[in-house]
Amino acid sequence: MAQSDVNAHCRIVVDAMGGDFAPQNAVLGAIQAANEDPSIELYLIGKEKEILNVISGNNLSFDKSHIVNADEVITMSDHPTDAIKTKRNSSITLGARMVREKKAEAFVSAGNTGAMLVASTLMMGKLPGVERPTIGTVMPSENGIVTVFDVGASVDSKARHMLDYAIMGSIFVREIHNISNPKIGILSVGEEDTKGNEVSLNALELIRKTNLNVVGNIEGRDILNGKVNVVVCDGFVGNIILKFAESFMSLLKTKIKLFADKGLLNKLRVLLMKGTLKKVMKQFDYQTYGGVPLLGVNGISIIGHGSSSVLAIKNMVLRAKEMHDKKLTQKIEESLKEYANIS
């Protein structure tokens, strides 16, 4: 395993305006993370007055010089590219710019995912050789967790892009989830090398030319069964899978509620199991995993779920710090260089 500068000093900008519960959750989570790891130099970006309100309202102390005022806010419903163009003083634009200008090493936001993607890509720039940065997600699996790349940064990916997702995802999982030689599967409709659509078949062929630990094609049923550590797919498929998975739990809840509504005995039965089910379902909660990384940009960019809790924000900031400590961006850059000539 490569060395890492544990506890290296790291400047992290947190978008105080990002997420459905901003600025409250963003500010509290960020400050908790900074308190936990003193080598984090925290910057809060957003409407200064609102940030100060949260700080004083919670009797916290925070160095005012580390609050960066941003007058504009990109909302969840804003169109990403349009918003980046028109809201030049938004927290997302200015936060990403701080990384570009070497005023910070990492930017963290639970705001508009598309805007974070566009701003991070435009401001930080792409790593040499990367055409398309990728967003990954972590899901629970039969033997722990599984990470899926791409889940929405790109649609209509080409095989070369999917090779890059495999390279970047593999390093992320190795460094961050401490899996020494992550098993990689290409998401397809059958296990045989001949099964797939045009791009998945081409991607498999390319990825087999690396010395990554490629299992081969995997099917939809293999995503969660622990067969691989990294699932590689086009962002169109990955995004649909991710959102589908999130909705599965709410359907289960509805069906349990319908069952309870069918009579007093059923209601009692459901009441009895509620606590247990809640504990089990907690493992399906994205909040635990600390946001999703955007890989392939020249800097650290972490994107959180809109409904991020204080804990989720805290975990995102600590994750950004870990990526910095482990020199993830540099390692990805080196690995991409190693495989630059594969075609």
Residues at the interface with a copy of itself (CB under 8 A): 140-142, 152, 155-156, 187-189, 196-198, 200, 219-225, 234-237, 239-248, 250-252, 254-256, 259, 266, 269-270, 272-273, 275-277, 279-280, 283-284
C-alpha–C-alpha distance, residues 315 and 260, integer Å: 36
Closer of 12 and 241 to a copy of itself (Cβ): 241
Place of tokens 């566009």: 118
What distance in Å separates the CA atoms of residue 159 and residue 342, rounded to the nearest whole number?
11
**Minimum CB separation from a copy of itself for residue 131, in Å?**
16
Residue 2 neighbours by CB distance under 10 Å: 11
Do the beta carbons of residue 318 and residue 36 sit within 8 Å?
yes
Q: How far is CA 241 from CA 65, 182, 225, 286, in A?
A: 42, 21, 15, 14
In whole angstroms, the minimum distance from the beta carbon of 83 to a copy of itself comes to 14
94/223 with CB nearer a copy of itself: 223
Query: Least Å distance between CB 172 and a copy of itself?
Result: 22
For residues 38 and 275, which CB has a smaller minimum distance to a copy of itself in the complex? 275
Q: Considering the complex, what minimum distance in angstroms separates the CB of residue 294 from a copy of itself?
A: 16
Give the strand order in the sheet containing 144-149.
67-69, 40-46, 10-15, 106-109, 300-303, 292-295, 134-141, 144-149, 230-232, 183-187, 213-218
Which of 253, 339, 330 lies closest to 299, judged by CA? 330
To a copy of itself, the closest distance from the beta carbon of 112 in angstroms equals 12
CB nearer to a copy of itself: pick between 285 and 325? 285
Candidates 38, 41, 12, 34; CA nearest to 104 is 12
Nearest approach, Cβ of residue 169 and a copy of itself (Å):
18
- Token pair, residue 38, equals 């003193």
Least distance from a copy of itself to the Cβ atom of residue 218, Å: 10
- 173 within 8 A of 229, measured Cβ to Cβ: yes
- Strand blocks (E) in the chain: 10-15, 40-46, 67-69, 106-109, 134-141, 144-149, 183-187, 213-218, 230-232, 292-295, 300-303
Q: Which is nearer to a copy of itself, 222 or 333 (CB)?
A: 222
Query: Which burial class, exposed, middle or buried, applies to 343 when counting CB atoms under 10 A from its CB (0-12, 13-18, 19+)?
Result: exposed
C-alpha to C-alpha distance for 230 and 203, rounded to whole angstroms: 14
- Which C-beta is closer to a copy of itself: that of 56 or that of 197? 197
Nearer to a copy of itself, 102 or 279 (CB): 279
Tokens encoding 263:
């009579």
Least gap, CB of 59 to a copy of itself (angstroms) = 38
Closer to a copy of itself at the Cβ: 109 or 157? Answer: 157
